[in-house]
Amino acid sequence: MNIVDTLTQTISQALQAMYGIEQQASDITLQDTRRDFKGDYTLVVFPYVKQARRSPEAVAQEIGTYVKEHLPMVCGFNVIKGFLNFEISDEYWSQFVTENFADTTFGLRKSNPNDPQVVIEYSSPNTNKPLHLGHIRNNLLGWSVSQLLAANGANVKKVNLVNDRGIHICKSMLAWLRFGNGETPKSTGMKGDHLVGKYYVEFDKHYKEEVKQLMESGVEEEQAKKEAPLLVEAGQMLKRWEEGDPEVRALWEKMNGWVYEGFDETYRRLGVSFDKVYYESQTYLLGKELVQKGLDMGVLFRKEDGSVWCDLTGDGLDQKLLLRRDGTSVYMTQDLGTALLRHNDFGAERLIYVVGNEQDYHFKVLKLILGKLGFSWADKVYHLSYGMVELPNGKMKSREGTVVDADDLIDEMERTAEEMSREHGKNDELSPEEQQHLYHILALGALKYFILKVDPTKNMLFNPAESIDFNGNTGPFIQYTHARIRSIVRKAGEEVTAGKPVTLSDKERAVIKVLHSLPESIAAAAAAYSPAMVANYAYDLAKAFNSFYQDTPILRETDMDIKHFRVNLCAMVANALKNTMNILGIEVPERM
């Protein structure tokens, strides 16, 4: 039990013993004491004054006296009106460090392979374009949340659903047939996903020209958009694909193969991976079976044109299309099939989907339809909805080619990391190979931290120039702090062992209190599915350590007990930074 739990439990006992007030320890809130007052944790006593029939000062004084008598680690307290500030002894804090500094997994909980599994889906790219900045936020968030849940003891499976079929795929295929002249990744030197994405843009360009020509001939805009020959032919290609046309299937397999090779390279560079990959081309048929089941059950209905719908008006929504009139499926069709397949594969306790907030409605519908189809686990579906990534000049549009390509962004970040490192002299003692590795992990650390430090629910503005800085709330600042600490521990040289309790400075105490809160911080972040809370914790710890480091001698300390304690404290901070940054998917260097 940590100090906060111990305090709240004892306060609960005090309230019952002195005033007959029944208050669960879990409902008692302690705050960090304000810096301008002496103390570590503060209890606001005003909620108990009326029942206690005492003044706020008297209630605070009496609770403080009770707690101090019952808890040896409480060395004192003070009362400021209705605020009771508890002081925790140096012996408790220093003993905490002594007991935990060598535990490289402090704050992390081990998962039990026998526990129910949590399945988290992220990435979910389309095979008609390369990964871009929006995908980067999705991948980093999905990977980090999976790491975070695992760090909190969950049995996590990471999955990817590749959207490898549909009208958008046919658009790239048709454009390549029309305008590609047989070029391949090998003949052009382009990554396969970039080449296929090029033809998605080409389709849109020629499609818009056809719409314009139809409108100039007198056709209304909406009708022109539906009747443009390229779009009609793409729709026909999709129908041929679903009918198993060998020529269309062969082209589909070839172009998707190019894309998968490109995706794998980008995933490797980003440092993300999956336990299982699903393909929409394999799950949509199961979805169609579920649609037929829904028709048989009477929870779905067929319109006169042959299309199949679910009426959700009684649930406050509208009617949802599940099969088009030509029998081809939509996204919802394959998501129904994928959800069932995934539940059967893993028997999952939770099915988490990392998908942008533009799909909030989609996942409300998915849960409702699964429930109407009789699946009791429908309420286990959870949409981890995140905000969009925008650039200083606005939103990205794949069709128009106005996207920030993931590979290009990583290249640019690595160039910037090299420039910044050379400017700050961070690589002078490293070999050329070590330098290149350093530039890579600094670039990825800057990129990942900048994106993950933002609350997932919020939209964010990405500015690469702000992300790579060795000062402030950035990945490189925390990475450099870790390297600095590891240098201190190496220079300490001798084998450092547990020392005696020592008298602490205010800045030492501040570092230890942040360390002490690590288990609760990880648990709270996991409950909120928020890597941003982990990023903020890592920054707070790095900031507290640097303040301590600037004012406190470590290797120059002459009292060996104090020196040993401070080196131990450094080692514990390094472990905590390494573990929290690992949750974010960020490598921390041993030296810089």
What pLDDT was estimated at residue 401? 47
- Of 522, 542, 544, whose CA–CA distance to 533 is shortest? 522
CA distance 169 to 95: 61
User: For residue 500, what are the CA distances in angstroms to 335, 407, 513, 530?
Assistant: 59, 52, 19, 38
What pLDDT was estimated at residue 462? 79
What pLDDT was estimated at residue 336? 94
What pLDDT was estimated at residue 398? 43
Positive or negative: CA dihedral 558, 561, 567, 570: negative
- Shared domain for 379 and 418, answered yes or no, is no
- Of 453, 471, 470, 546, whose CA–CA distance to 462 is shortest? 453
Question: pLDDT tens, position by position, for the chain (592 residues)?
Answer: 689 999 999 999 999 999 999 999 999 999 999 988 999 999 999 999 999 999 999 999 999 999 999 999 999 999 998 999 999 999 999 999 999 999 999 999 988 888 889 999 999 999 998 998 889 999 999 999 999 999 999 999 999 999 998 889 999 999 999 999 999 999 999 999 999 999 999 999 999 999 999 999 999 999 999 999 999 999 999 989 989 999 999 999 999 999 999 999 999 999 999 999 999 888 888 999 999 999 999 999 999 999 999 999 999 999 999 999 888 888 899 899 999 999 999 988 899 999 999 999 999 999 999 999 999 999 999 999 999 887 665 544 444 445 678 888 888 888 888 887 777 766 667 788 888 888 899 999 999 999 999 999 999 887 776 777 777 899 999 999 999 999 999 998 765 555 667 889 999 999 999 999 999 999 999 999 999 999 999 999 999 999 999 999 999 999 888 999 999 999 999 999 999 999 999 999 998 7
- Note whether residue 270 is domain-resident: yes
Instruction: Using the 3D structure, point to which of 340, 363, 390 is the last residue of a domain.
Output: 390
- Shared domain for 45 and 127, answered yes or no, is no
- Shared domain for 13 and 76, answered yes or no, is yes
CATH code, domain with 429: 1.10.730.10
- Of 330, 402, 387, whose CA–CA distance to 356 is shortest? 387
Q: Which helix (H) or strand (E) holds 367?
A: helix 360-372
What pLDDT was estimated at residue 235? 92
> Cβ-count burial of 176 within 10 angstroms (0-12 exposed, 13-18 middle, 19+ buried)?
buried
DSSP 25: G
DSSP 376: G
- Note whether residue 240 is domain-resident: yes
What pLDDT was estimated at residue 1? 67
What pLDDT was estimated at residue 427? 65
541: which residues sit within 8 A by CB, 6+ positions away?
A: 511, 514, 515, 573, 576, 577, 580
Report yes or no: 424 and 470 within 8 Å, Cβ to Cβ.
Answer: yes
What pLDDT was estimated at residue 369? 96
What pLDDT was estimated at residue 388? 87
CATH code, domain with 360: 3.40.50.620
Torsion over CA of 302, 307, 312 and 317, rounded to 10 degrees? Answer: -150
- Note whether residue 7 is domain-resident: yes
- Phi, psi for residue 31 in degrees, rounded to 5: -115, 155
Pull the structure tokens for residue 537.
Answer: 């914790």
Cβ-based neighbour number of residue 81 at 10 Å: 12
CA distance 560 to 565: 8
- Pairing type for strands 155-162 and 276-279 reads parallel
Supply the range of the domain harboring residue 83.
Answer: 3-88
Cβ-based neighbour number of residue 304 at 10 Å: 6
- Shared domain for 331 and 186, answered yes or no, is yes
How many domains does the chain contain in total? 3
- Shared domain for 296 and 155, answered yes or no, is yes
Beta strands in 337-397 (DSSP E): 350-356, 381-386, 389-390
What pLDDT was estimated at residue 303? 95
- Note whether residue 102 is domain-resident: no
- Note whether residue 229 is domain-resident: yes
- Shared domain for 72 and 139, answered yes or no, is no
DSSP 458: S
CATH code, domain with 71: 3.30.1360.70
- Note whether residue 290 is domain-resident: yes
- Shared domain for 71 and 133, answered yes or no, is no
What pLDDT was estimated at residue 426? 62
- Shared domain for 450 and 506, answered yes or no, is yes
Report yes or no: 453 and 469 within 8 Å, Cβ to Cβ.
Answer: no
Q: Which helix (H) or strand (E) holds 574?
A: helix 560-583
CA distance 237 to 166: 10
DSSP letter for each residue of 96-116: HHHHHTT-TTTT-B---TTSP
- Note whether residue 589 is domain-resident: no
- Shared domain for 66 and 171, answered yes or no, is no
Pull the structure tokens for residue 489.
Answer: 């521990």
- Note whether residue 101 is domain-resident: no
Pull the structure tokens for residue 49.
Answer: 């004054």
Cβ-based neighbour number of residue 351 at 10 Å: 25
Pull the structure tokens for residue 500.
Answer: 């005696």
Burial letters for 523-561: b for 16+ Cβ neighbours within 10 Å, e otherwise?
A: bebbeebbbbbbbbbbbbbbbbbbebbeebebeeeeeee
CA distance 1 to 255: 57
Torsion over CA of 7, 8, 13 and 16, rounded to 10 degrees? Answer: 140
- Shared domain for 308 and 424, answered yes or no, is no
Strand order in the sheet with 41-44: 30-32, 41-44, 83-88, 74-80
Burial letters for 405-443: b for 16+ Cβ neighbours within 10 Å, e otherwise?
A: bbbebbeebbebbbebbeeeebbeebeeeebeebbbbbb
Positive or negative: CA dihedral 94, 99, 104, 108: negative
Instruction: Using the 3D structure, point to which of 360, 390, 420 is the last residue of a domain.
Output: 390
- Shared domain for 343 and 439, answered yes or no, is no
Instruction: Using the 3D structure, point to which of 390, 424, 449 is the last residue of a domain.
Output: 390
What pLDDT was estimated at residue 402? 53
